[in-house]
Structure 1
Amino acid sequence: MEVQFLYSLITGIFIGGVAGYLGSLMITKRMALVGDALGHVALPGVALALIYGFNVSLGAVPALILGIILIWLFEMRTKLPMEALTGIVFTASVAIAFLFLPEEKVSTALIGDISQVGFWDTLVSAILCIFTFLVLRKIFSKIILANLSENLAKVEHIKVERYNFIYLVCIAIVVALGIKVTGSLLMGALVITPAAAARNFSRNLFQYSFGALLIGGISCLLGILAFKFFNLPAGPLTVLVASLIFLISLIFKKG
């Protein structure tokens, strides 16, 4: 097996796993579409990375950081729902990106290209995925409590604004990494579909969150293997695998 392909597999499994774990929190927090929207927020940075020939995740990071800071500030100033604010920032970002994104780069920006990752991409992705997973695990219960009752969370001395910001940063990291696998167009599916499938399989919160992690990793593994054998884009194949697992999970869903 080619070393390059192994790098793609390892990178995809790590990213898919942490994306699924994040998705379990996002669905619980009723923010299922935020991951998809932030994938589009990253587009201006991705476009610049493709034009100037550097790593798309590095390009996505500053665009995402700017985007989440704007969303966070708007939320504190306006008290509008986070999904609405994310939608405003995401549409503006897409408009900016398509002003200068070359036509020949559109496919890579929208559906990704996992085949180009190297050793350092894999190492950095693995480290960031592990770090993000540990942070998410640490804040998981606090975010859930704040979602149930912000007042109760404040009584428990949980600084809701701070944890929301940390949560948004984690989303930004996962989105920046996931763009390698699925591109900006399908990033939301990589986050949400494994978590939705896990919800049908699981009976408690632990099974739900770690089931989403497992399904996310398996989806990327099988999607990238299918890319190798069928020579079709890995991003759409990964999303189709996750969608198939979701359909299978409906059999186990209790009414």
Structure 2
Amino acid sequence: MSALSAENLSVRHGLLEAVRGMTFSISKGETLALVGANGAGKTTLLRALAGAHPAATGRIALDGQDVTGLSVHQRVRRGIALVPEGRRMFTSMTVAENLKLGAMAARPGDWSIDRVIEIFPNLKKRLDHKTGHLSGGEQQATAIGRALMSNPDVLLLDEVSLGLSPLVVDRVYESLSGLIRSGTTIILVEQDLARAMSVADRVICMLEGRAVLEGSAKELSREQVTDAYFGLHRANSGKAH
């Protein structure tokens, strides 16, 4: 049974259909990268999976149970956690306070502040610092740690490298590798193809709200993904299995 699945999922912004008939699943412990240009529908899809944006049609299931009609908070309690684009820290609160907020809706599980520090050791000396005074990389680590404190079955990460320097992105992805090794199930939205393909088990490329290419990150070439990214590769012409 898949950890999370979407079946014929469509999501609208008013009259605009931002996600169109998406069907996919992710297995427990797998990392799935959603790639595509700005406006492809990646963030909208992630928000719909998290319950932050309603589905127009289709079904979302967690461990085989339909969660399509549940709110964000209900989905967190079921095991879905979203790290939104832009991090959205409570900047007047400390790192420790932000992490504790994530535990307020926590399910039973192993994640604690100590375990978050194991994954993101750069936060150890910053626990008592207000997040508004942190670097972008430290804020991103805090945002991911806050989501992990809810003990999710599936972690949704939206644009983790956005606005960060290449050196800081290296550090964040090094920490993500540890998170992946821990067995966390992850859906990652990332515009940096090389980064996404370096950590993902599987890649879905989106264009105009649809999946136009899907396959193993190891089997898909950079050229195939780039062609799909820019609309040079259509859905049925080169879908990898």
Same fold (TM over 0.5): no
TM-score by length of 1: 0.25
TM-score by length of 2: 0.26
Greater fraction of residues in strand:
2
Higher relative contact order (CA 8 A, sep 6+): 1
